[in-house]
Structure 1
Amino acid sequence: MKNWKSILVLSSQSLLETMQIIDSSSLQFAIVIDEENRLLGTVTDGDIRRGILRGESLESPIIHIMNSDPIIATEQDTKKYCHKLMQSKKLKQLPIVNKQKQVIDVLFKDYQVTPINDNTVILMVGGLGTRLRPLTDTIPKPMLKVGDKPILETIIESFKKCGYTNFILSVNYKKEMIQNYFQDGSAFGVIITYIEENKRMGTAGALSLLPERPTKPIFVMNGDLLTQVHFEQLMEFHLEHKAVATMCVREYEYQIPYGVIETNGANLVSIKEKPVHKSFVNAGIYVLNPEAFDYIPQDEFYDMPTLFEKLMAQENVTAAFPIREYWLDIGRMDDFERANKEYNM
């Protein structure tokens, strides 16, 4: 029996507080109430990420981004009706309210603790890792150890925790070290096959080497990232937005070290002292539908941003999934040292 009372959130609570409640409950859902326990709305992980994309602060009250018109049932409705409603509307949760609209129960769709998902995960692990020399003179970057295991093993384990066990590794530099370590994946409880890049192909170009076109959405991820992104949430976000391609993004901020001047002609209008600018940048994790492969040329260098630009130019639906979890690109020596100090699955 799930403790639905643990996912009740007051309308005055912040996005950050709600995120923590959603993550700690593992139910990926929260119900917003007033002081009298009356239902005001609901919030999902996707609602929070969309709010972040719109520029909402983590300190904003959750009422700013909640769904204020959720599907609900009443105490007069039968269990049979409620289950039919959940099935027809494809709901994972259904709040039950009394005549005063107070929450008295929540029904949840039954699911496995660790679902089995057959979407393929393609990991790009063929890079030279030149910025990490001399460490990468003798070992490929994905095989560098963070903690007591290679970066690539940690990535595979994080997908496996979300139920994804089908992997294709795109290899090149010192490929034998990767293939000898992971082999067919059976020792790690997964299935691993390999494609080999004989030249630089780019993140998207390497996908043209796949022996057959996928029939379901696939993950594509750089093999030098450490993250605690919940990949099932990413896939749900992608499907919910009916996107052909989804790019994970993260917020990047930088401070201009000078006073920024705004003028109107020759007149000084304002001075902003050392302002901080925020932008979303590519995080190196993607979900692609099979139809995205129609835009990938055969046996050519083709990077993922180029693919997204092509998809957008052809008016395909593309989505941005903001990462709010831990994320680190191990591109330089100080990144590698930082990862070994702070990363802990």
Structure 2
Amino acid sequence: MTSSTDLSVRPGTSIRDALSRLDRSRGQVVFVEDADGRLVGAVSDGDIRRGLLAGATLEDAVDRVMNISPATVPPTATQEAVDELKATRGIRVVAVVDDGRIVDIVGEGERIATPLPTPVVLMAGGRGQRLYPITKDIPKPLVPLGETPMIDIILGRLHGQGFRRVHVSVNHLGHLIEEHLGDGSRHGLDITYLHEPMPLGTAGAMAQLRDQIDSPFVVMNSDLLTDVDLRRMLGFHRDAAAHATIGAREYGFEIPYGVIRRDGHRVTGLAEKPYHSELVSAGIYVIDPSALQLLEHDEYCDMPTLLSRLMDDGRSVTAYEIHEEWIDVGRPEDLERARVAWERRGR
């Protein structure tokens, strides 16, 4: 990341001084920020040349030649979005803006990795019964792929996407998870715990976060091996103005028989081993904090129940299709598939 201090001036700064800043920084743009640090414009050497040709002088304020609609992205932007913006606008520098203020600048050859304020809730309280006896003495999130526990892989990917605040719900053998993760500093994260006095389902523990979260947050199961771009999912959720977004995955299966179509007793058609597909929940969600008001402390509540409450209340629930790698490590065969995928990456 490039420092915004090196590439910013105040309104009223002369074009000469802005040009000098451009030259010293070797950048392609100078951003104009007001006294409160809010972005009000940007000036490139091209803007300055066009302004001088139109009659401006080097002593005029930079306001006269600045672009009042500079290229910016939110902190949740993906690298793909940054690259596309650069290509579309023919620029090399993009400002990352949050609440009107520059929080980072992605220069030429740099990648966006802006730390996000967005919290993540990892649901890690389940018993992992389908993996028994593996999970008899070890909680499922600590089951290793190779030598690395699943939850470490998940946390590493969260950190790589810019997330820093994680709440982990724990119940079954939860003390082992807490001992392993600690405060999260080993992963570069701030980890706190939601203790379930009894199994509370896939949503119940979140009632403990009521009045603690004031922006959309991510919820995901702690037994997923996935490359899903959560920054893009957050952007989708915000663009849709949704109260909840469900990460959805296509699940298909072949019926191993010839299927008969009929009208009463009359056969109207035959289909040999047809393929059927549905969108299923991928165990990843973006939730608006207002949804937490629909939960009661220590109430058992699964995520489908919470989402149904939102829809019954007339609130918007959207589906975000996941096309990246995604393995739900629920059964022994899924665990083996996840281990093969992890080893294939050489990690």
TM-score, L = length of structure 1:
0.70
**What is the deviation of 1:109?**
2.6
State the partner residue of 2:240.
241
Instruction: Find the aligned partners of 2:183 and 2:73 in 1 and give their Cα distance.
Output: 40
Q: Percent identity?
A: 35
State the partner residue of 1:294.
293
Residue type of the partner of 1:254? F
State the partner residue of 2:215.
216
State the partner residue of 2:90.
105
Instruction: Find the aligned partners of 1:118 and 1:234 in 2 and give their Cα distance.
Output: 15
Q: 1:1-23, CA deviations, whole angstroms, 9 ceiling, x for partnerless residues?
A: xxxxxxxxxxxxxxxxxxxxxxx
**1:1-345 to 2 correspondence within 5 Å?**
83-86=67-70, 105=90, 109-110=94-95, 111-112=105-106, 113-210=112-209, 212-343=211-342, 344=345
Does the 8 Å CA contact 1:247/1:282 hold for their aligned counterparts? Answer: yes
**What is the deviation of 1:210?**
2.7
Does the 8 Å CA contact 1:94/1:107 hold for their aligned counterparts? Answer: no
Q: Cα distance 1:334–1:78, how it changes in 2: closer, same or farther (>3 A)?
A: farther
Q: Cα distance 1:281–1:82, how it changes in 2: closer, same or farther (>3 A)?
A: farther
Instruction: Find the aligned partners of 1:302 and 1:183 in 2 and give their Cα distance.
Output: 27
Instruction: Find the aligned partners of 1:118 and 1:104 in 2 and give their Cα distance.
Output: 28
Q: 1:153-186, CA deviations, whole angstroms, 9 ceiling, x for partnerless residues?
A: 1111111111001011111111121111111111
2:203 match: secondary structure: helix
Residue type of the partner of 1:84? I
Q: Cα distance 1:108–1:266, how it changes in 2: closer, same or farther (>3 A)?
A: farther
Residue type of the partner of 1:295? L
**What is the deviation of 1:105?**
3.2
**What is the deviation of 1:206?**
1.0
Q: Where does the alignment leave 5 or more consecutive residues of structure 2 unmatched?
A: 1-45, 52-62, 75-80, 96-104, 107-111
**What is the deviation of 1:86?**
4.3
Instruction: Find the aligned partners of 1:210 and 1:223 in 2 and give their Cα distance.
Output: 18
Instruction: Find the aligned partners of 1:195 and 1:82 in 2 and give their Cα distance.
Output: 49
Q: 1:124-177, CA deviations, whole angstroms, 9 ceiling, x for partnerless residues?
A: 111111111221111111001112211001111111111001011111111121
TM-score, L = length of structure 2:
0.70
Deviates more, 1:85-94 or 1:169-178: 85-94
Residue type of the partner of 1:126? G
Instruction: Find the aligned partners of 2:323 and 2:50 in 1 and give their Cα distance.
Output: 39
Does the 8 Å CA contact 1:94/1:108 hold for their aligned counterparts? Answer: no
Q: Cα distance 1:266–1:172, how it changes in 2: closer, same or farther (>3 A)?
A: closer
Does the 8 Å CA contact 1:86/1:94 hold for their aligned counterparts? Answer: no
Which of structures 1 and 2 has the bigger CA Rg? 2
Q: Where does the alignment leave 5 or more consecutive residues of structure 1 unmatched?
A: 1-74, 97-102
Does the 8 Å CA contact 2:197/2:298 hold for their aligned counterparts? Answer: no
Q: Cα distance 1:105–1:240, how it changes in 2: closer, same or farther (>3 A)?
A: same
Residue type of the partner of 2:69? L
Q: CA RMSD, aligned part only?
A: 2.8
**What is the deviation of 1:246?**
0.6
Instruction: Find the aligned partners of 2:289 and 2:178 in 1 and give their Cα distance.
Output: 27
